[in-house]
Structure formats: structure tokens, C-alpha cells
Amino acid sequence: MKQITRTVWVLSVVSLLTDTASEMLYPILPIYLKSIGFSVVLIGFLEGVAEATAGISKGYFGKLSDTSGKRVPFVQIGYAFSAVSKPMMAVFIYPLWIFFARALDRFGKGIRTGARDAILSDEATPKTKGRVFGLHRSMDTFGAVLGPSLALVYLYYFPQDYKTLFFVSFIPGLLAVFATFYLKDKKATEPKTKVSYHFFSFLKYWSVSPVEYRKVVIGLLVFALFNSSDVFLLLKAKQSGLDDSMVVGVYIFYNLIYALFAFPIGIIADKVGLKTIFIIGLSLFATVYFGMSVNTNLYFFFGLFFLYGIYASATEGISKAWISNITDKKDIATAIGTYSGFQSICTMLASSLTGLIWFQFGATTAFITTAIVTLGVMLYFLTIPKPTTIKTENLNQ
């Protein structure tokens, strides 16, 4: 643990608290929105706008962080926006206000993502990127265990009291904002020459980015285009006979496995290679989706979600660690922000695509299609050679 700095711990705690606040609302948000008059179509449109806001803004603010030479202000503002957005959704029930509050939450995520991941990268060496990003993902995901668990306990004692839960979620969100004040920018970070950048200027990075970066990101985005929302996995479990409590329980179980394994898998990745672990993660993902396409055994779902948790541990943080190792230090926030932005858009399209296949051909076809594409992505990554040169902070994968 000596490779984990104080800054990494602070960021990990901040993410833990923020995700606890967000995931506390995850199980009840659709129910709450329907209770105040939102239709299913409007809820879908709301989530689409929110995710698009986060996706597009990640690249811009990542670029802005790199060019300004600052990281911490973006982290602080981003987490503050996400914190204040939660009680806002309970104050007024007008659709435009709800849209504004939800977009503000995702906008905060867009502001902080690139700068936060750049800080994590700066706090690691090429040989410790896996464990640093792994610890952060682990702590972040523990929030996805604590949040829904606290929500279930609260609603057990206060059923249907959704509004109060929005105010309760503000507490861990506010604590996260306070924790960001323990972060400090490194004095060595110097801003570039000041230049005006428009909102989509980060897209220019693609043409000047390292060849390895483009090859890796292309593979990641193809995978993202077929990696739909976890809601489809939960829906399949529900259709196979799990009751509502079991569905929430299996979701919490998945996040617990993810949280427990993210850090140790990150340590292993530093030893055997980030690309190797990522490909193993994809193989588990394909196994889960093939299994989901045919499984109807209620207990077997827990085995599949166990593998799904391992897959997430081997890919989420690992992909960002991989990108940071094939990108110049001065462009890390831009590189990760650009990838995250495209990924958000692909993920949004993935859910629409999977939903369409499910509607037209059934759940089995939808899951098998995703699994087959994933196998193709695995083969693609196997063709990518290890870098032959080491750049400023790069290391052979």
C-alpha cells in the first residue's frame, strides 16, 4: 500500500461518498419521477439528455484542465454541482426544473472526470497505474453497495417517502465536497499559452493523439457501442423469476464483488500487463452474456453476476490506466476526457440498439449479439502490439 499516496486516498474517499449519494437514489429515481407525473418516454429522454451532457462535457473540461494547468478546481466544482443537484430534484416538481437538476448532476461529472483521472495518473508511476486506478474504482464502487443498501433500509421504515431521501443523499455529497479541499495542485504543473477553445475543440486531439491511443480507443468504443445498460441484465433476471428484492439484491451483490476485486486485480495488472487483464475481463463479459442468453436458473444468476463483477474490476479502471500509459503527461486529462466523452455517447446508443434487438428478436438474440461482438473486440486487441518506445510517462503494456 506504500504506492498509494494521500491524494489518491482523498480522491477515493470523495468518490466513495459521492457514489453513495448517487446510488442511494438509483433504485427510486424512476419510481419518484413516475410519482410526480413523468411518463416512461419522458424518463428515458431525461436520462438520455443527462448522459449526453456528461459525455460531451468530459472532453471539453479535460482539455481545459490540461491547458490551464489546473486540476483541483475542476474536481471541486464538479463534485459540488453533483451534490447540490440532488436536493434540487425534491424542491420543485416542474419538468424543466427536474431536467435542469439532473443535467447539473451529469454536468458536474463531466467537469471533474478528466481532471480527477489526471491527478490519479500523476500520483502513480507506469508500474503502479493498475493499483492506483483499481483502488479508486474499488472505493467508488463501494458507494454503489452502500447507497442502495441505505435506501432499502430507509424505505423499509419510511415507505414511499422519496422526497426526504433526496435530502438525505445530500449529506454524503456535501461531505465529499468538503473532502476535496484536502487536495492541492502540484506547483510543477504549468499552464500552456492561453488560447480560446470552443466546446468541441477537444475533438481535434484525435488527429494529433498517439497512434497507440487511437488504436486502443477504437477498440474500447466498439465494445462500448454494444455494452448496454446493466438494466437489461436486471430485466432478464426479473423476467426469469427473481422478485424485486432479489433483483436489487443481485445488483448490490455485483457491486460488492466489483468493489472487492478492483484493487487486487489492479495490482495483478501492474505485474502481468494492463492489456492482458483487460482482455481477460472481456472474456468474462462474453461468458456472462452467453450465459444470460440461455439461463433461467435463479441461483445461476448469482454466479453470472459474480463473473460480471470480476469483469468490471478488470476493465473499468484498467482502461483508464492503460490510456494514461500511452498518452503524454501534458494531455492526460484531454485523452481520458475525449475517450470518456465518446464512451458516454456510445453507451447511450448501445442501450437503444440492445433495446431494439430485444424488441425485434428477443432477449436471447440481444445477449448473443453483444457476446459475439465482444469476442471480435478481444481478437482486435490481441492484434495491437506492445509499444516499442517509452514516452514521457509511458511503459510497454
Look up cell 442501450; give the residue. Answer: 351
CA dihedral 20, 133, 5, 3 (to 10 degrees): 140
Instruction: Identify the pLDDT of residue 66.
Output: 80
Q: Which residue has the higher pLDDT, 30 or 251?
A: 251
Distance CA 274, CA 138 (A): 17
| In 20-122, beta strands by DSSP E | none
Residue-range domain boundaries for the chain: 6-183+203-383
Q: For residue 240, give the 3-state DSSP assignment.
A: coil
Instruction: Identify the pLDDT of residue 103.
Output: 83
Maximum separation of any 2 CA atoms in the chain, in Å:
60
Residue 386 has what DSSP assignment? P
User: Which is nearest to 374 in space by CA: 255, 300, 278?
Assistant: 278
Query: 19-65 pLDDT, tens per residue?
Result: 999 888 876 776 777 777 777 567 666 766 677 767 778 877 887 88
Q: What is the pLDDT confidence band of residue 69, given thresholds at 50, 70 and 90?
A: confident
Domain 6-183+203-383: CATH superfamily is MFS general substrate transporter like domains (1.20.1250.20)
Q: CA dist 169 to 26, 39, 89, 355, 374, Å?
A: 11, 24, 11, 31, 36
Q: Which residues contact 1 (CB under 8 A, 6 or more apart)?
A: none
Look up cell 494492463; give the residue. Answer: 274
- Per the CB < 8 A criterion, the answer to whether 236 and 363 are in contact is yes
Q: CA dist 318 to 210, 247, 259, 275, 312, Å?
A: 19, 28, 14, 8, 9
Query: 207-237 pLDDT, tens per residue?
Result: 778 888 889 989 999 998 888 777 778 778 7
Query: 145-187 pLDDT, tens per residue?
Result: 898 888 888 888 887 788 888 899 999 999 999 999 999 887 6
Query: 274-320 pLDDT, tens per residue?
Result: 899 999 999 999 999 999 888 767 778 889 999 999 999 999 888 88
**pLDDT at 121 exceeding the cut of 50:** yes
Distance CA 138, CA 266 (A): 10
